[in-house]
Chain A
């Protein structure tokens, strides 16, 4: 049915159906965000020998995030007098829209995917870069010193780590010979890229944590020095959209890591009877857990260390990885 739809000539019916399906995905993602926040707080709680949320919604705090969201919805919305009003309103939307857009190309299983475009990986990287603009806009429009500093830091950090991120996947592209995410997964039938590209994977993981603005790279919102960074002046649902964008990227980045390095929906050997969706969910959850673990383990690094690490360590390593991969492929696989 969907096949026929994809091959039919595009029109308003198609837009309508795609819209409904996309809205369904949006709901799933919002559900994920709700429980990812809860899971993060719970896991952090257990790692720090405390309970985490355990009041709202039973012993596991299952309704805690729902209650938080409802509370945010009822918060008064204040826009400071000195702020640049149109930009202030626009910034959360600029930050959020690309976060959802990148999900369009991610293949969850071999059948469950929205847009199967030839340049899927490039699309992801290009679109995800746009969120920086939203963050800088928010920081600048607030007309607040902390917010401006946070926005500037976010820009510097995200452009610095964008480069190792982009370069670490070149190794994957070299091996797969395609930018299409489906073909990248198919190319991993003989071996996942985490085994063939261990250096690329480590660089990608570190750079992706920095792109997600999560601890230990959460300098743009370092609460101990910048209060809350670029979103100091935001309140209520406008603030919620910055947070939502962050967690939707969390979802997207974990999916992308799964697709690029952990073989997407492909099963482990001899376990092919378990459906691909389960495999994807397992690997995805593992990546999410590792990212939460990262956050609990490492202290926030200093701004100068952050920059030096990105340019002096990650970039040369990523460049070396590209050429080692290319030479190895030239010598042994061609």
Chain B
């Protein structure tokens, strides 16, 4: 029971930190609203584009490279999800798990080498 309380209290602190992290911007922006001037005119509310009139919407179709990096990120981030528990329990798992993990990472490294050879990593 005591340990459960400790556990819950610790996560309560995390939650309190989340609340504080949200409250500070809200309070500061509200205080700012009371203090700052408000003199709107149309030119202030245009989009900045180095002084020229902004033309068409800026949300255009984007370079596909970003998408490929995002895919690679997903693959390697999932790998780390497996690496973490393995690293924590390494002392109990021993040599067999090490070889398994080597095989697992090797497969992903083959993927990385493939991407490398395909010039996916080259940004041109």
Residues in A lying within 8 Å of B, measured CB to CB: 5-10, 14-15, 18-19, 22-23, 26, 73-83, 92-93, 96-101, 103-105, 114-117, 122-123, 140, 142-148, 152, 155-156, 159-160, 162-163, 166-167, 170, 173-174, 177-179, 227, 232-233, 236-238, 240-241, 303-304, 307-308, 311-312, 315-316, 319, 322-323, 326-327, 329-330, 334
Contact partner of A152 (CB less than 8 A), chosen from B26, B62, B77, is: B62
A6 to B62, CA, bound (A): 50
Count of interface residues, chain B, beta-carbon cutoff 8 Å: 72
Contact B116 A163 (CB under 8 A): no
Q: In the bound complex, what is the Cα–Cα distance between A142 and B58 (angstroms)? A: 9
Given contacts A76-B37, A76-B39, contact A7 B20 (CB under 8 A): no
User: When A and B form their complex, which 10 residue pairs have the shortest distance between CB atoms, in order from nearest?
Assistant: A304-B123, A97-B21, A100-B21, A159-B73, A115-B13, A173-B87, A104-B17, A115-B10, A18-B16, A145-B58
Q: Which of B13, B38, B90, B109 contacts A22 (CB 8 A)?
A: B13
- CB-CB under 8 A from A227, the residues of chain B are 48, 50
Given A26-B20, A81-B46 in contact, is the A330-B73 Cβ separation under 8 Å?
no
A218 CB, nearest partner CB in chain B, Å: 17
Residues of A within 8 A of B123 (CB): 303-304, 307-308
Q: Which residues of B contact A144 (CB under 8 A)?
A: 47-49, 54, 58
Can you report 6 residue pairs joining A to B where beta carbons are below 8 Å apart? A10-B9, A97-B25, A100-B24, A117-B14, A170-B80, A308-B122
Q: Is A143 within 8 A of B84, CB to CB?
A: no
Chain A contact residues: over half helix, strand or loop, or mixed? helix
Q: Which B residues lie within 8 Å of A98 (CB)?
A: 21
Contact between chains at A103 and B17 (CB < 8 Å): yes
Contact across chains for B88 and A307 when beta carbons are under 8 A apart: no
The answer to whether A160 and B73 touch across the interface, beta carbons within 8 angstroms, is: yes
State whether B98 touches A330 (Cβ < 8 A): yes
B residues at A contact (CB < 8 Å): 2, 5-6, 8-14, 16-22, 24-26, 28-29, 31-33, 35-40, 44-50, 54, 57-59, 62-63, 65-66, 69-70, 72-73, 76-77, 80, 83-84, 87-88, 90-91, 94-95, 98, 101-102, 105, 109, 112, 116, 121-124
How far is it, in angstroms, between the C-alpha of A114 and the C-alpha of B2 when the chains are bound?
Answer: 18
- Contact residues in A for B65 (Cβ distance below 8 Å): 156
Q: How far is the CB of A83 from chain B (nearest CB, A)?
A: 8
B contact patch SS: helix
Contact B47 A114 (CB under 8 A): no
Alpha-carbon distance A177/B86, docked complex (angstroms): 10
Which residues of B lie under 8 Å from residue A174 when comparing CB positions? Answer: 87, 90
Contact for B88 among A99, A145, A147, A177, CB less than 8 A: A177
In the complex with contacts A26-B20, A97-B21, A163-B84 CB distance below 8 A:
no
Tell me whether B69 and A159 are in contact (CB under 8 A): yes
Q: A115-B14, A159-B69 are in contact. Are A308 and B121 (CB under 8 A)?
A: yes
How many Å lie between the Cα of A81 and that of B27 in the bound state? 24
Asked if A326 meets B90 with Cβ closer than 8 Å, knowing A74-B35, A163-B77, the reply is: yes
Closest A residue by C-beta to B109: A319
Which residues on the A side are within 8 Å of B88 (C-beta)? 173, 177-179
A103 to B14, CA, bound (A): 9
B87 to chain A, nearest CB (A): 4
Contact B84 A122 (CB under 8 A): yes
